[in-house]
Structure 1
Amino acid sequence: MSKIAAHLQLTDSQRRIELARPWVLVGLYVVAALAGWWWVAVPLAVAVCLAAFVQMHDAMHNALGLSKAANERILVLSALLILKSGHAMQVTHLRHHGRCLSEDDPEGAPANWRFSRVLWQGPYHILTLRRESWKIAPHTRRKQLLETGYTVALLVAFVGLYGFTGSFVGLVYWGVAFFMSATMPIWASYIPHHLAAQNPAARAAAALAQIWTPVVASFAFHHVHHHYPRVPTALLPRAAAELPAPPEHDHHH
């Protein structure tokens, strides 16, 4: 594994790109929103959430090549962009890797449901995950509470921004982030675990992933990620091409 980690790690320039991506997108969102270009701003807000998800996910696995302290900060800040507690998400995600799609895998549960159930129960599942993270890792409760406080403070700031200036910039972003968070069981659990590599959609996604689209890579090479979790999301296409192919059946419903 040491050879894999040494070979498939971010260069300094790649790391700067991975760290900057969601924050550059935030800046672009703010510019577009302040200009009233909502047809541009809303898609940018979605892009922010997806980029933040990738960054948070890589931080969960310490795959960004950062110091422990820096990785902790990135975990907290990137999760805040999607209204999450980074440490709560990390708890259930690492459980998912350890007990993938078992009865004791709350994050992976939607992958075992019928799609209709994912649609109606998925938005409430985020509350289930928070409860489970609280039970699984009680030593992280203080961090989880603090990060929840940050999320509430952010919402209060957005409401205050509207109240004092009439600007919808914060509230629209919060609405988009809430939607992305509520639908996460669909796009981050159900779809990746039902999209086998032989599927035409997965092959198309894999082709797109070659042009540096980390979110697509996380779907197209999900089974690769499960086998090599320390490989950064952006380098999964390279890992899929160069490393021994992992079995898919362990990570697909």
Structure 2
Amino acid sequence: MNNDIIGTTDNLRTKRFYHGTRAELSPGDSIDPRNPLDVGERDRMTTYVYLTPNLDEAIWEAEIAVGEGSGRVYIVEPIGQVGDVSDLTDWKPSGHPSMSCYSREPLRVAGEVTDWTLYHGTRADLKPGDLIKPGHTPNFGNKSRTTNYVYLTRTLDAAMWGAELAVGEGSGRIYIVEPTGSIEDDPNLTNQKFQGNPTKSFRSREPLRVTSEIADWQGHSPEAIEAMKDGLERLERLGVEPIDD
């Protein structure tokens, strides 16, 4: 990988970069910045291509990209200099995880991400081998019912929200889990504000088995958490209940 990276730390130079798209690519292929955009208007060209060291950002980019194919996340190697997207004059914050770096030179595809880590955010104190089962008081909506599903996600960002918004008095915790049965898209998030499932959130009627805990995650800001809680309270006042049947 090229080490001539603008505006980044030595730590970033050692990290793996990702690119999210719907294009079907193979190792050795180039992703050219002069191709039409994957996201937004397809009738104009760009002078840069996006990449990121954050897998969550690439997952979002792949899921919201235009096109008919499946969202794909590739491991890429920049062949030129890399900058921070906040330095671009036309950059605007998206309000969700989005690609944080750019390059004016092509990216070389090194491989595709096919092995996914699955997370569960909670306040429960668990250990490897424990099972997380349906049938608990829900975090959102009517607290007199119990859940029919247990929820999990491929993105650390979504797991952080689960941990931060979970009911209870303990600290938020994020566990790496493996499902013991089939999983399906979480309909509370799939095709709601965004087409597809950009948070990669799923649910299962069967327990999840805890394999390990993520101990060094850094959560959302207090302001973001408060805004999210306010939004959930508004939905509750409107009588909007999670889909859990």
Question: Which TM-score bucket, shorter chain as reference?
Answer: under 0.3
Q: Quick one: higher RCO (CA 8 Å, sep 6+), 1 or 2?
A: 1
| Larger relative strand fraction | 2
| Larger relative helix fraction | 1
Q: TM-score, normalised by structure 1?
A: 0.24
Rg larger in structure: 2
